[in-house]
Every structure is written in C-alpha cells, then in structure tokens.
Structure 1
Amino acid sequence: MNIAFTTILLFVILAPGFIARNAYNSSKLSVKDYNRNLVNDLTWSIIPSLAFHTIFIAVLHNATSYCVDFEQLGNLILAVPAKSEDSFRQLGNFKYAIFSYNFILFVLSFFAGLGLREFVRKRHIDRKVRYFRFSNKWHYIFTGECLDFPDVPDQYEEITDKIINVLCKVNGRSVLYTGEYFNYYIDSKGDLEAVHLRNPIRRYLENDNDPEQQYYVISSRYLVIPNSDIININFRYLSMQEIDETEITASERQNLIELAPGENL
C-alpha cells in the first residue's frame, strides 16, 4: 500500500465537506479566491465532512444491517503493511455498499450546501452576521442589502427604487450618467467590470453652473458603462409609496413636480 492510495482515501473522506462548500459558494454571491488552493479547501472541509459522516454513519447503523469497520478504515489510512491484505479483501467484499454510501453522501452534501445557502439568504443571516457574508461585496452595494448591516441605520426592506449616478471620463470630458439600477458585472476576481443602467440620461459635469444645460435623454432604454471609463459611482436608495391626493399637505403641494403626459420619472 502506498501513499497515493492513502491520499485518495483521505480525499474521499473529506469530499462531502468539499462538495457542500463548493455548492454553497456556487452562485453569483461568491467570488473565487485565487489565493486558496485545494489544500486550503480540504482543510476547511474537515469539520463539515466529520459532521456529515457522523450523521450518515449513525443513520446507517440504526436503519440498515451495515456498519463501518473503523479498525479496517484506520489500517487503510495509516497504511499498516501487516493488515493491508485483509483490508483490501474487505473493500472487495463490500465495494458496492461502500460506493453507494459515498455516492448518496456526496449527493446529499451537495444539496445540503445549496440548502444552507438558501437558508442563510432567506433568514438574512449574511446581512446580520459578518462571518456568513458572501465574498461578492458588489452584490450588497448594488442591491442595497448593505443597509441591513449592523452598523448601518437604514433598512433594505424600505427600498423601492435604486438610482445610480456614474461619473465617467469620455474623450477627456467628465460625463455624469444617471439611471435606474438594472444590473452589474464582475470579473473572475470580483472586480467591477461594468454597470448596467435603465432609462439613462447624461450631462457634462462642466455645465453644472449653467441652468440651461439640462440632462440629455439617451435614446436607449439600457446603457452599459465599462468600469474602465468610471471615475466614481453614487448610489441613491429611494423609498417611495403611493398616497391619496387628499393626504398631501399644503407644503408638499408646493414641491410637487408635474409630469407631461406620457413622461415617467
């Protein structure tokens, strides 16, 4: 018995945690960390794998006639020469049962990872507890979920609209693009690639002091702005609600903005 077999055996033992972890991080919420390698991932998989095996072995012992021979398993892991022949004979005798055990455990681990992610998201645990927060920081910023962070006084549930101002450098001139948030794009490292606006308008920043220079409505419903042109981004999270006209106060009536027929905010 050589070290290669022991390595494969250890990988199989740690695989449930590895699979669950990858399933948990398989969405757009997670960004791959290129500083991590297989050894790091397997190390982080030790505790989840032990938990999966403990639960599954308990079910196996109580619900079936099979049991795990830990002595033989230890001999295989430690590569004990005197016990190798007997250990491999046991593997051959129960190869189908061992395969079924691991296959079912791997499948359950995958769905456990997905289920845990859904639970964390639905219960907003990632917003409340930093440890459970996903690595894609842009998701929390663009969606406004960052308002639910413990050190932020606002609340995400109050958001009805998200308006984004993007200051860009175009042909040597500073241009301010404004529009509703539609989408964003990141690269494999988690860096922002582009911002996707809906109903965009623009104006040149040099015309800030000229009241006659208004926003120019772009003749397109959507606009994608590459990050290479972006200087900075301003986010406005709005909370709007419909009210009856009779509920409007006199001071609020003075600040009303009337839209032309067919015009939208």
Structure 2
Amino acid sequence: MNFALPTIILLLMLVPGFLFRRLYYSGEFSKEYFKQNFTDYLFPSLIFSILIHLFCQGLIRLFGYKISLWPLFLLIGSNGSSSETSVAFLQIYQNIYHIFFYFVFTAFGGAVLGYLGKYVVRNLKLDRKYQLFRYQNEWHYVFTGEILGFPNITGQYDVQPEVQYVDALVKTAEGSVLYSGYLSHYVLSSSNGIDQLYLSDVKRRYLKHDHRPENEDPYYYMPGDFTIIPYREIMNLNITYYRINQSPPEASAE
C-alpha cells in the first residue's frame, strides 16, 4: 500500500482539530495561531480532533445512525500485506459517500465548535477571570482596557472604553521625546510583543525643553493621518481610556 494513503487519511482525521483551533484563534488573536510551527499545531489538533470525532459520533448515534472508522484505522496502521487491508478497502469503497459526508460533517463541526468556543470564552469573560482561558495577545487586553477586568489588576471596567489615549516616551538621538495621541492600530511582532504603534492626532514634546518661557507651547502638533512609532524605541507607555463623550484633558503649558 502506498505510504501516501495513510498520511492522507490521518490528515483528514486531523482536519476538525485544525479548524477548531483556527476559528478559536481568529480575529485579534489570529497571530497566536499562525506563529506556531507544525509540531505546535499537531499535538493540540490531535487532542481536539479526537474529542470532536467522539462528539460527532455521539451526535450521529443520537439520530439513529452509525459509522465505523475502523477500516480507516486499519489502513493507517497496516503494512498492506494482510487480508484485513483488503476488507478495509472494500468497506471504504462500499461506504465512500457516507465516509465523505462524515469528514465534511466533522470538519464543519470543528469549525463551528471553535467559533462557539471563542464566543463563549469572550462573552462570559472567562479569559479575563481565569488564566487558563487567556489568549497570549496580552496587548489586546491592555489596549482595549480589558486588563482592568483581571482579578489581580486594580481598576474599574464597567463599560469598555472606546478611545485609548497613549503617551509614549521615545528615546532619540536628540533626547527623550513624549508622543501623545489616539491609538489607531498596532502591529505585533513574531514574539507576540509590539512591533509598531500607529497614533493619530499626535503631538510631541522634547523633555529637554521643559524649562522654557511660560508663553511658549512645549508641544508640536504633528501633521498627517498617522504617526508610526517603532516599539523598540519606546521607553515606556502611559495609556488612558475614554468613552466617546470624554476627551483627554488639555495639556498644561507649565
């Protein structure tokens, strides 16, 4: 028997687990899925695939149907020399349409369960309450203000803020510069840290100019739609959360 056939069957068996994890790690958490290597994919996908197959098998039996995966397991583990292999091929050939729809059903089930899993975790705020359910993109929790809902973080999270105002202290050749603006977007690095910050309505201030005449505005208002700041140049961040009916206080000229 060709070695490719058991490999194809095994991959088909793993599809539900892959789709579950792809839908569970979607949207703002998708980088957590794509940054993994094949080994990182394989073991969790195997576990979820087994659970999804068991769930689908139970669901099929609940509606009075039954499908045996034993012929497929025989082909995966067989060396092609036994009579059982021939019987397995015959059973697969006779039930090819049932097997095809079973794989479609389990793949669809894996995708739906992955989506529902994320929906439940996010809407019940399980990822904020329990470390077990928390996604690795911690910057999402920081920038959205959801971190205020963590049990070990002091603060109030009654209503999700709609605006994030960022003060970024940046080290430059001319000295430390404070950039202040609304957070528009951010890009994660391969290690799930921040690679770049996108700020809008930005103003900047050189800290070395703090000693200045009282009538001199220390801020320079940056033109353009965005200011992009590489995170490697940022010394620290200050984030303030606002609702739409709030706005950052006017900077003092002192």
Q: Does 1:108 align with 2:109?
A: yes
Does the aligned pair in 1 maintain the 2:21–2:33 contact within 8 Å?
no
Matched residue, 2:75: 76
2 CA distance for matches of 1:215 and 1:33?
41
Q: 187, 195, 198: which one pairs with 1:185?
A: 187
Q: Deviations over 1:207-234 (max 9, x none)?
A: 2243634323334454322324423222
SS at match of 2:27: coil
Aligned in 2, Cα 1:184/1:34: closer, same or farther, shift over 3 Å?
A: closer
Aligned partner letter, 1:76: L
2 CA distance for matches of 1:90 and 1:120?
41
Q: Does 1:230 align with 2:234?
A: yes
Does the aligned pair in 1 maintain the 2:52–2:109 contact within 8 Å?
no
- Report the more deviating stretch, 143-152 or 185-194: 185-194
Deviation at 1:35, TM superposition (A): 7.8
Same amino acid, percent of matched pairs: 32
Does the aligned pair in 2 maintain the 1:30–1:136 contact within 8 Å?
no
Matched residue, 1:163: 165
Aligned in 2, Cα 1:30/1:133: closer, same or farther, shift over 3 Å?
A: farther
Aligned partner letter, 1:10: L
Q: 217, 221, 224: which one pairs with 1:217?
A: 221
RMSD: 2.9
Q: Deviations over 1:159-207 (max 9, x none)?
A: 6453211112344332111122222222344231221223221111112
Matched residue, 1:67: 66
Aligned in 2, Cα 1:42/1:258: closer, same or farther, shift over 3 Å?
A: closer
- Report the more deviating stretch, 160-169 or 139-148: 160-169
TM-score (norm 1): 0.79
Aligned partner letter, 2:61: H
Deviation at 1:84, TM superposition (A): 0.6
- Report the more deviating stretch, 66-75 or 110-119: 66-75
**Superposition pairs of residues 121-200 of structure 1, within 5 angstroms:** 121-157=122-158, 160=161, 161-200=163-202
Q: Deviations over 1:28-59 (max 9, x none)?
A: 22434788432332211233222221221123
2 CA distance for matches of 1:55 and 1:109?
10
Aligned in 2, Cα 1:35/1:166: closer, same or farther, shift over 3 Å?
A: closer
1 CA distance for matches of 2:63 and 2:222?
66
Q: Does 1:37 align with 2:37?
A: yes
SS at match of 1:156: coil
Between the two proteins, the alignment pairs up a number of residues equal to 244
Does the aligned pair in 2 maintain the 1:33–1:189 contact within 8 Å?
no
Matched residue, 2:204: 202
Aligned partner letter, 1:14: L
List runs of 5+ in structure 2 lacking aligned partners.
Answer: none
1 CA distance for matches of 2:32 and 2:144?
20
Which of 1 and 2 has greater Rg? 1
Aligned in 2, Cα 1:62/1:145: closer, same or farther, shift over 3 Å?
A: closer
Aligned partner letter, 2:8: I
Deviation at 1:145, TM superposition (A): 1.3
1 CA distance for matches of 2:228 and 2:25?
27
Aligned in 2, Cα 1:113/1:33: closer, same or farther, shift over 3 Å?
A: closer
2 CA distance for matches of 1:120 and 1:71?
35
Deviation at 1:153, TM superposition (A): 1.9
1 CA distance for matches of 2:87 and 2:160?
66
Aligned partner letter, 2:68: D
2 CA distance for matches of 1:240 and 1:104?
44
SS at match of 1:146: helix
TM-score (norm 2): 0.82
